[in-house]
Copies of this chain bind each other. A is one copy, B any other.
Amino acid sequence: MSDAAPSRPWLLFAITPPRRSTEPAEARRIAERTCARLRDLDLDALVIYDIDDESDRNPHERPFPYLPTLDPGDFAEEHLGSWDRPVIVYRSAGKHDPRALADWFAAQDVRRVRTVLVGASSSDSAVRTTLPEAWRLRREHAPDLATGGVAIPERHASRGGEHERMRAKQAAGASFFVTQVVYDVGAAKSMVSDYHYACGDAGSTTVPVVFTLSVCGSERTLAFLEWLGVHVPTWMRNDLRHTDDPLATSYDQCVAIAEDLAQFCTRHRIPFGFNVESVSIRRAEIEASVRLAAHLRDRLGAGDGAQAAAASAASTPGQPRS
């Protein structure tokens, strides 16, 4: 078990870059709207996803169409100049040539940029750079770039061993983890528990695990979450389908998940955080996501005694510890 005092929980908010066809002026307006919307959230960092089609992973029809987006690194560099906090730029390793990835790593300002390295969505994908190769390139070209890995509770529940994959990523340089969207809180707790005890057995540090939360305001968003591989427990799915206001129901479910995870991690002194995203682009769902992040900020900031006490030993927000 880690004896380190947990830091104040991280709060991240994740966005998808605009479509690739977006004109620069419009991309800038989108970036400004986004910054304005998120400015008051006191985020530790803004996450920018590197979206993959992923239809090679799932033979079922994608509930929302896949539209190629601007490169998240380009979007951050060219349009998010007015964002005065860190950004976490996702890098989907398989999409990029090793040379391009190495150049990107070398070019980053480590005071402003962090990254998360993502593996291919299926073993059948045409992979330009494998995940281990991406980790190697990052060690070589940007050893000081704080870099996270992806952790998937569903994979732990179905196949086991996700904690070992997390440990391997940590050995490769991961200084934090961001999960897939969590609806199955038991699966997330089991994954982080196995990870925590494995770190204890190995005498190594438990690095922060950031849990991704996303509200669901419609049957279609629910279908998309499940298409993405998120396990939505039967009772939650039932409640979302039988309520007159799925968005309000989902919001309450997300708050309950966050409280359960916060209690669990605090009790075990596991450093943690939350990453809020909206998997849909519907305005009501985006606004509910921002409200959820604000709620977490208020709750985490004005948290219980244990968290307040722990906060005094906190690392600087947005400074993932390696």
Contact = CB atoms under 8 A, between A and B. Distances in A.
A6 B193 CA distance: 36
A198 to B, nearest CB: 10
A159 to B, nearest CB: 13
Nearest to A156: B234
B264 A189 contact: no
A27 B221 CA distance: 61
Interface residues of A, number: 17
Contact of A238 (B186, B197, B238, B242): B197
A53 interface: no
A233 interface: yes
A234 B194 contact: yes
Contact of A194 (B186, B193, B238): B238
A108 interface: no
Nearest to A239: B193
B189 A233 contact: yes
Contacts of A194: 234-235, 238
Contacts of A197: 238, 242
A69 interface: no
A234 B204 CA distance: 21
A260 to B, nearest CB: 9
Interface string A230-255: 00011100110010000000000000
Nearest to A242: B197
B184 A235 contact: no
A190 B264 contact: no
Contact of A186 (B1, B184, B192, B193): B184
A190 B236 CA distance: 8
A190 B238 CA distance: 8
A294 B239 CA distance: 32
A50 to B, nearest CB: 31
A268 to B, nearest CB: 8
A185 B235 CA distance: 11
Interface of A: 1, 184-186, 189-190, 192-194, 197, 233-235, 238-239, 242, 264
Lowest 5 A-B CB distances belong to which pairs? A190-B234, A193-B235, A189-B235, A190-B235, A193-B238
16 contacts: A1-B242, A184-B186, A186-B186, A186-B233, A186-B235, A189-B233, A189-B235, A190-B235, A190-B238, A193-B234, A193-B235, A193-B238, A193-B239, A194-B234, A194-B235, A197-B238
